[in-house]
Structure 1
């Protein structure tokens, strides 16, 4: 399965509690909560490039499945993580106590980030 495409945010759950938990300042949380961000994914074999645009903020992460990569978080912090593929349609990684799962279902991208008992879910549709 090729994950390439552009996906626009349709809905999200627990945005504010999750962003507070990872240390994002309140002013940025308020700015970001109503923006319908766009995620662009470019896949070339096992190599991925994720470009996430939220308003004027752009985060670009590149990684190869199974290899340690440096990823930029929403806070601007950079962490080392290994992204794995689970089954045919999931990408999974963990960093700083956060489990991150991206699941592709046809033209829908479901991203779930779990930190402790806070589950932040984003649903985006291919555009």
Structure 2
């Protein structure tokens, strides 16, 4: 099994985040607000079961899933959408694909040294 992502991760930077949200057609109010936040991540991993908490001063978001198993993700508190999401291992990286009204959504996450990277 790949590496353990468990831990508390503090955001250091969010380069090009507003442009990314704009490309995904996230509304301008949400984009402006989100670009100022510096959310932390708390990750609890038990084998292939993951709980990823995104924590900020404005709102928190919890994503709980089993790697490799599709689930319905409710992002109504984030960017007001619902999608079918699958997260898979790609080596030591987690790769997320979100299927919904907008194609090409998702993310990749990995650890290098003591840093968590999210693209």
Name the SS for the 1:17 alignment partner: helix
**TM-superposed deviation, 1:80:** 1.0
**TM-superposed deviation, 1:19:** 1.3
TM-score norm. by structure 1 comes to 0.78
Match of 2:105 in 1: 98
Match of 1:110 in 2: 117
Equivalent of 1:50, from 49, 52, 61?
52
Quick one: distance in 2 between partners of 1:35 and 1:99?
Answer: 20
TM-score norm. by structure 2 comes to 0.82
Quick one: distance in 1 between partners of 2:47 and 2:95?
Answer: 17
Number of matched residues?
A: 111
Moved more, 36-45 or 74-83: 74-83
**TM-superposed deviation, 1:106:** 2.4
Structure 2: state its 5+ residue gaps.
none
1:35 is aligned to 2:33: no
Runs of 4+ aligned structure 1 residues displaced above 3 Å come to none
RMSD of Structure 2 on Structure 1 (CA): 1.6
Quick one: distance in 2 between partners of 1:32 and 1:83?
Answer: 23
**TM-superposed deviation, 1:99:** 3.9
Quick one: distance in 2 between partners of 1:38 and 1:17?
Answer: 20
Question: Which structure carries more strand by proportion?
Answer: 1
**TM-superposed deviation, 1:36:** 1.3
Describe the shift of the 1:35–1:107 C-alpha distance in structure 2 as closer, same or farther (beyond 3 A): same
Quick one: distance in 2 between partners of 1:106 and 1:61?
Answer: 24
